[in-house]
Amino acid sequence: MSERVRRLAELVSGGGVVVLSGAGLSTESGIPDYRGPNGVARRHTPMTYQTFVGDAAARRRYWARSHVGWRTIARAAPNDGHRAVTRLQRAGLVDGIITQNVDGLHTVAGAGQVVELHGRLDEVRCLDCGVGTSREQLHRRLTEANPGFDARAVAVNPDGDVDLDDEVVAGFRVVDCAACGTGMLKPDVVFFGETVPVDRVARCFSMVAAARLLLVLGSSLTVMSGRRFVLRAARDGVAVAIVNQGPTRGDAYAAVTVDAPLGVLLPTLADRLCPLGAGSPQPVVG
């Protein structure tokens, strides 16, 4: 075991850990990240809130592409990294999780006290009446409204979007809210150009303030949405540790950085700190 991993284990073993996870944690579940080794940043421009609500053609294009991408997102399952985080939490070492991901995989893996900073892709909300529905229900409605639509995508982006030719999406039919009949539907996630709810951000800052260690997993911390928690931790004297494949914009604030696949390192860390199983009440460091 390397000296960096030993230092990481030592920090985590003290408990009081809040995890900040990014797309890199879900790559081994088949969901690519934006900036890591398998990233799609160079070829993908995410949808903005302003474009979604203001351009009917762009909205139709988004739903056509997302309808295809949802098939992959819906099949994604937690990987060894997610399960290791849950083990560390059940062992009493991790107090809570802030995730920038919209895939819901922390919760599926059995973790609790999860704040989904950017929302969840498996939920849909009407921008007019506010009624929420499941993405599965919307998927069935879109399938019924578009018989014969059988587009296939080569790759799916972290937000569930895919690349499709314009002629493929031109005839795609978008459905309105089933509750009010006319409302515009939007996935219950925070788009670029949209603000994360203030109360959600405040809860995250409160979690960081109460932590002994902020453990960043699979995030390049490129955007301020996640990096602000590292900056707050550094300002308040909360230790920071980062595990990511490649450098991050928070490395200068970290007590230790580890460049490694999370699906390999996190189970090793969990085995070391809670060898009796995920529910072990007496984590040990040997």
**CA neighbours closer than 13 Å in the CB half-sphere of residue 184:** 11
Same domain, 161 and 212: no
Which of 152, 170, 189 is the last residue before a domain boundary? 189
What does the alpha-carbon distance between residue 261 and residue 249 come to, in Å, rounded to a whole number?
18
Q: What is the pLDDT of residue 34?
A: 56
- Tell which of 131, 160, 189 closes a domain: 189
Q: Is residue 36 part of a domain?
A: no
CA gap 263, 280 in Å, rounded: 21
What pLDDT shows up at residue 285?
A: 40
Q: Which helix (H) or strand (E) holds 143?
A: helix 135-145
The C-alpha atoms of residue 140 and residue 136 are separated, in whole angstroms, by 6
Tell me the binding residues.
100-103, 126, 129, 177, 180, 218-220, 244-246, 262
Is pTM beyond 0.85? Reply is yes
What pLDDT, in 10s, does the model give residues 236-270?
A: 999 999 999 999 999 999 999 999 999 999 999 99
- The pLDDT score that the predictor gives to residue 44 is 56
Neighbours of 150 (CB within 10 A): 8
Q: Say whether both 139 and 183 belong to one domain.
A: yes
- d(CA 76, CA 208) in angstroms, rounded, equals 29
Q: What is the domain-level CATH number for residue 259?
A: 3.40.50.1220
Q: What's the pLDDT score for residue 40?
A: 43
Domain, as residue range, for 211: 1-31+78-118+195-286
Mean pLDDT across 4-32: 95
Residues comprising the chain, all counted: 286
| Per-residue model confidence (pLDDT) at position 188 | 96
The reported pLDDT for the residue numbered 169 is 84
Residue 37: inside a domain: no
Let me know whether 5 and 140 are in one domain: no
Find all residues with CB under 8 Å of 55, minimum gap 6, and list them. none
Number of domains in the chain: 2
pLDDT over 60 at 173, yes or no: yes
Q: At 12, is the secondary structure helix, strand, or coil?
A: helix
Which residues are annotated as part of the binding site for NAD(+)? 100-103, 218-220, 244-246, 262
**Could you tell me the CA-to-CA distances from 164 to 61, 62, 72, 140, 244 in Å, in that order?**
9, 10, 15, 20, 30
Residue, of 166 and 251, whose pLDDT is higher:
251
Q: Is there a single domain that holds both residue 152 and residue 25?
A: no
Co-location of 27 and 46 in the same domain: no
Q: Report the 10 Å Cβ neighbour count for 225.
A: 18
Identify the pLDDT of residue 62: 92
Instruction: Give pLDDT tens digits for 47-102.
Output: 899 999 999 999 999 999 899 888 878 889 999 999 999 999 999 999 999 999 99
pLDDT at 189 over 80: yes
Residue at 13 is within a domain: yes
Return the SS3 of 213: strand
Q: What is the mean pLDDT of residues 278-282?
A: 43
Give percent of the chain with pLDDT exceeding 70: 86
Are residues 255 and 225 located together in one domain of the fold? yes
pLDDT value of position 157: 63
- Please indicate whether residue 44 is annotated as part of the active site: no
Sequence ranges of the binding site for Zn(2+): 126, 129, 177, 180
CA angle 62/67/69 to nearest 5° reads 95
Instruction: Tell me how far CA of residue 104 lies from CA of 56, 98, 152, 168, 279, in angstroms.
Output: 28, 12, 24, 29, 22
What is residue 168's predicted lDDT score, i.e. its pLDDT?
76
- Position of tokens 């979604």? 52
pLDDT at 277: 52
pLDDT of 41 > 60? The answer is no
pLDDT of 222 over the 70 cut: yes
List 82, 106, 118, 139, catalytic entry: 118
User: Is residue 231 assigned to a domain?
Assistant: yes
pLDDT at residue 42, rounded to an integer: 41
Residue 179 · residue 131 · CB < 8 Å: yes
Among the three residues 148, 164, 189, which one is the final residue of a domain in this structure?
A: 189
With contact defined as beta carbons under 8 Å apart, do 107 and 78 qualify?
A: no
> Quick check: is 172 in a domain?
yes
Same structural domain for residues 150 and 226? no
Q: Please give the Cα distance from 58 to 50 (Å, whole number).
A: 10
